[in-house]
Amino acid sequence: MDETSVRYEGWRVVAASGVGVFVTSVVVVTFAVFLKPISEEFSWSRETVSSAFGIAAVMAGLSAAPLGHLFDRFGARRIVVPALLVLGCTFGSLAALTPRVWHLYVASGLLGAAGISTSVMAYARTIATWFDRRRGTALALVITGASLGGIVHPPATQALIGVIGWRRSYALLGAAMLAIGVPMALRFVRERPSTRSVSEPPAGVSPREGLRTRIFWTLIVVLFCSSMIQNAAIVHLPALLTDRGVPAGRSAIALSTMAAAAIIGRLVTGWLIDRWFAARIAFVTLAITALGTFLLSDAHSFAMGAVSAALIGIGVGSEADVVPYLLSRYFGLRFFSTLYGFTWIATAFAAAAGPILMGRAFDATGTYEAILVRLAAIMLAAAALMLTMPDYTVRPAQAVSGV
């Protein structure tokens, strides 16, 4: 079967992987919804609660490279299924959260380590073994699962908290993660039989070689900046808008708007990078993110908040597509997950820094305006770096020797 056919088996793997990303995205995208209830319940500052998100991100980053090596060696299924069990049980256990802040931090560390094992990183190599000409589109569809989660989970969780409270909401969402994610991974997630790659040469670029290239470190810088801004916005957007008079329900919808825009960004970017040079496309979409961040600094209504969130979401979606795609094109698939895991270290530490930086700025000044303007300037500079990326039509070994 050709990969352009809807009957191609790889598309079933894409669908299952997308569902897996959808159900586990609840851990990240609902953190902002739980932030205020938890802060008010235990009289914790926003910086204190935001630090839990940072701890999860740091643990994800520290786990990423070793897990990438395991994915390269054993494939996704053997890692994803146990990680889903840990993730669902730990998330559900937050229903019994105590006033001791270390309890929140320990659980968050476990969520970070297990979450990275069930993220897009877990499925990217599997998808790349099934696709070559439609690799960008296939990766985009999987990553879109996270965006759909961003649309569905925040308002649904906000409504759930209103009906049964935040504790029971944690328990119910953790159980749903187990009931949906584990069977899907067991049944469908696997690499293409009899081969480890569709068209890449058997020997890809080693991690040591990849880490010595300008290409890799350019991607690291861009990822760090975009992840810092994305996660700062995700965690603080509802609080920012409610502080400015927007109702909590509409603030959650604004957060969903970001996820909806990310879907558009991911699908369009996936289609485009199958046809044109991915780095140039990323420059445009990341510049749009910079614009959205700047507009958010002065957003005092639901409409402006939603527009700003949508612009940020477009760039977020593009970056998630472009990075694994470029890694597979520049460096091949033999050590793809290991190199991808190293990029997640930058993503995770930036995800930790962004929300904490925003929380500290608010606690110190009572406003988010100045920090958002600075983040917009940083994002624009990072977008410009994508214009320096070389062509990837050469084979992996040539790419390394040429940069």
pLDDT in tens, 156-186: 888 898 889 889 899 999 999 889 888 888 8
- Is the model's pLDDT at 199 over the cut of 80? no
Domain-located, residue 105: yes
Give the CATH number of the domain where residue 147 resides.
1.20.1250.20
> If phi over 0 gives left and psi between -120 and 50 gives alpha, with beta otherwise, what is residue 245?
left
Domain-located, residue 5: no
Domain-located, residue 312: yes
Which amino acid, residue 40? E
pLDDT of residue 384: 92
Tell me, what DSSP letter sits at residue 192? P
Based on the structure, what is the number of domains in the chain?
1
State the Cα–Cα distance between residues 310 and 258, nearest whole angstrom: 4
Question: Cβ distance 252 to 238 under 8 Å?
Answer: yes
Mean pLDDT of 111-136: 82
State the Cα–Cα distance between residues 341 and 343, nearest whole angstrom: 5
| Residue 38 pLDDT grade (very low, low, confident, very high; cuts 50, 70, 90) | confident
Domain-located, residue 199: no
Tokens 């920090």 identify what position?
A: 371
Mean pLDDT of 375-379: 89
Tell me, what DSSP letter sits at residue 300? -
Residues comprising the chain, all counted: 403
Domain-located, residue 349: yes
Domain-located, residue 2: no
Mean pLDDT of 322-334: 83
Domain-located, residue 3: no
pLDDT of residue 172: 92
Domain-located, residue 127: yes
Backbone angles phi, psi at 131, to 5 degrees: -135, 145
Average pLDDT, the chain: 81
Question: Cβ distance 280 to 387 under 8 Å?
Answer: yes
Q: Which domain holds residue 16?
A: 10-193+204-401
